[in-house]
Structure 1
Amino acid sequence: MIQRADENTWNGVPMGRDEWIDMMSSIGLQYQFDSPHAGASTHDSARAGSSVIVNLDIAWQSTAPILHHGDDGDLFVQVVRSGTRWIKPRGGQTMSFGPGDVALVDPTVWHGASVRERTCMSILRIPRSALQERGLPNHFPMICRPDTASPDVCAVRDFVLHLASQAGKASEATLARFGEQCVDLVDVLVNDPGVTHAGRSTPSIVLRTKQLISRYIGDPDLSVERIAAELNMSTSSLTRALHGSGLSVMRHAWSLRIERAARRLRADTSHGNIQAIAYQCGFTNYAHFSRVFKARYGMTPREYAASHKAVRNRTAEQT
């Protein structure tokens, strides 16, 4: 069989099978075509923040990770759009993934994967460093198959698919924001506590807790219970993990709220907005806000705002 030079395309560039295999090898995957009638394959990718989103259209191909490729590799979140993806872990049973199914694949753990009929997938390649920064698990000893009967898993899957549909359309800045949000949501896909938290260290729990507090700082309903639920931990387990580092969820939250309010007051000194600023920073009682603010800064919020306005006015006059 004579191979056409333009049989496959990689990000719009026509290439033959040998070049396609080389490109897959460059990202740590050993590929092979399993039939002379595999047909054209396409790979389209776009940067999405720290991650890469890939739309892949292939048939009659098989792959395995190239272990010790030179780095620790990315974690792959694979969503099958059409067709069937077969994955066989070393020593395990072959798993089939059909339309709508999701697989979390760790390329540092050997497995074989293949497709026969034409299969379309969207794949989010997440660097391990991005997961580590969020205190999320970044190594999986087996193929992780999130339960698509869960509405939350379906919501995250559909968000990944939406990101994939915007590749090449939305701006780089918007794709970056979508991509970072997808990484934030990876813990939903591995929400089995026995998998999600195996080996999670106390420093990573502290880091993730601080990130969640910062995310929800303006929500007056923020609580230890809510943070624990986000981390798929019991309240008591979270409290024990934080105790050794001296971190209290609510003390940290109140401190951040006061600091955020102070920044807002320095930037916006209109007296009519002070109460609104307090509410936007998560305080539901203005008297309480005024009391704790004075304890922190030695003056009421109104006095604090006025003093910074006076400083700005003097600076303006001098210039």
Structure 2
Amino acid sequence: MPDREKVAYWNDAVSRTLVPMTVAPRGDGPFHGRIATDHLGYLQVSTMEADAKRVSRTPALIARSSEAMVAVGVQVSGTATFVQDGRRAEVGEGDLVVYDTARPYFFDYPQRFTTHVFQLPRHKLGVADGDIRQVTGNAIGTTDGFGAVLLPFLATLAASADGYPPAVASQLAGHVVDLFATLITERTHPGGADADTARSHVLIRVRDYINQNLGDPDLSPEGIARTHRISVRYLHRLFESERTTVSRLIQQRRLEECGRELAHLGTASTVSAVAHRWGFVSTSHFSRAFRRTYGVSPREWRKLRAAQVDGGQLSAGARSPSASR
């Protein structure tokens, strides 16, 4: 870009890539900057290199944003002063900062710098607003507990974000959300006082993974634990308070989806095809499990639904899949 147009172009590029903000170069000479962005599912990963500058996120700019985001910045080189929620943090190389884009903040970079920015929708994090407010405005170093584990992982992820297929990228986004939630929990509830929050967040991710992979006949506790980098024993412990087991949940969800599809009058699929589509290897095993759960065979279930001309209740003994939840 011509020198006279660089600052305006940079303001627009950064605001479109991250969130609306005002960028003011610190020096009088030509401004140089570069930003590269990739997506891992709903997680946006950006790397920004630029000359010294000041960044402001004001209430007026916040009003222009369509969605509240939470960001985690990793200072790769250079330093920064970060201000949010009345706190001021001096950020050095290797430090990490958490900030909420729904509230004003300010960055001051006194010299050329490089930073990684991980940005995700606020509602995906599943952490209380009060907990996020306690973490913002602080620099988290590589020697600070969980930060020592998280920082190297984020640096590696930023360097390879463009090399993952969509399915793997979505799984990685879930892992990063779990890590961010754990970091915030550790900082706001030292000593594990809120360990249940971290467990609940992992449980949500496991349930989502099961729902997304019901059609895989190889879906198993071992595979789920391996994907989420936890032990099988810990996975089973997560479900102790759920009054079910992982295997039972998988079968329950498969039966529910089969029941819904069989009840759809427009489908021409056979019972066997429906069962296989939702992960059942054996049609006879599926039929026995369906009858045991809903009181009728899959074929009887389909006939009962077809006979409903007025959308009334099923015959006695035939329980709706949605009612089994």
Which TM-score tier does this pair reach, normalised by the shorter chain?
0.5 to 0.7
| Residues 1:19 and 2:9 aligned together | yes
Over 3 Å counting, the alpha-carbon distance change for 1:6 and 1:37 in structure 2 is closer
1:249 alignment partner AA: E
Alignment of 1:228-239 (within 5 A): none
CA shift, 1:206, in A, is: 10
Match of 1:148, SS state, is: coil
Aligned match of 1:58 in 38, 50, 70? 50
Cross-structure match for 1:285: none
CA shift, 1:256, in A, is: 0.9
Asked if structure 1 preserves the Cα contact closer than 8 Å seen for 2:69 and 2:101, the reply is yes
Alignment of 1:86-235 (within 5 A): 86-89=81-84, 91-92=86-87, 94-131=88-125, 135-137=126-128, 140-141=132-133, 142-146=136-140, 148-150=142-144, 152-171=146-165, 174-192=168-186, 194=188, 208=201, 210-211=203-204, 214=207, 218=221, 220-222=232-234, 227=238
Over 3 Å counting, the alpha-carbon distance change for 1:149 and 1:191 in structure 2 is farther
Q: Deviations over 1:16-58 (max 9, x none)?
A: 1111123334422121111114741111111221121100012
Q: Deviations over 1:215-244 (max 9, x none)?
A: 6971652478x549xxxxxxxxxxxxxxxx
Give structure 1 stretches of 5+ with no counterpart: 8-14, 229-246, 275-293, 300-306, 309-319
CA shift, 1:212, in A, is: 5.1
Cross-structure match for 2:217: none
Match of 1:157, SS state, is: helix
2:69 alignment partner AA: D
Q: How many residues align?
A: 242
Cross-structure match for 2:24: 32
Query: TM (normalized to structure 1)?
Result: 0.60
CA shift, 1:80, in A, is: 0.9
Asked if structure 2 preserves the Cα contact closer than 8 Å seen for 1:159 and 1:182, the reply is no
Cross-structure match for 1:85: 80
1:267 alignment partner AA: F
Match of 1:267, SS state, is: coil
Aligned match of 1:249 in 237, 242, 246? 242
Asked if structure 2 preserves the Cα contact closer than 8 Å seen for 1:65 and 1:108, the reply is no
CA shift, 1:87, in A, is: 0.7
Cross-structure match for 1:76: 71
CA shift, 1:160, in A, is: 2.0
Match of 2:103, SS state, is: coil
Asked if structure 2 preserves the Cα contact closer than 8 Å seen for 1:41 and 1:59, the reply is yes
CA shift, 1:61, in A, is: 0.4
Asked if structure 2 preserves the Cα contact closer than 8 Å seen for 1:86 and 1:96, the reply is yes
CA shift, 1:159, in A, is: 2.4
Give structure 2 stretches of 5+ with no counterpart: 211-219, 223-231, 256-274, 299-325
Over 3 Å counting, the alpha-carbon distance change for 1:121 and 1:223 in structure 2 is closer
Over 3 Å counting, the alpha-carbon distance change for 1:145 and 1:249 in structure 2 is farther
Over 3 Å counting, the alpha-carbon distance change for 1:5 and 1:143 in structure 2 is same
2:242 alignment partner AA: V
Counterparts of 1:173 and 1:266 in 2: how far apart (Å)? 18
CA shift, 1:210, in A, is: 4.5
Asked if structure 2 preserves the Cα contact closer than 8 Å seen for 1:144 and 1:190, the reply is no
Asked if structure 2 preserves the Cα contact closer than 8 Å seen for 1:48 and 1:180, the reply is no
Over 3 Å counting, the alpha-carbon distance change for 1:179 and 1:223 in structure 2 is closer
Counterparts of 2:199 and 2:162 in 1: how far apart (Å)? 37
Counterparts of 2:120 and 2:20 in 1: how far apart (Å)? 14
Counterparts of 1:46 and 1:96 in 2: how far apart (Å)? 28
Aligned Cα RMSD in Å? Answer: 4.2
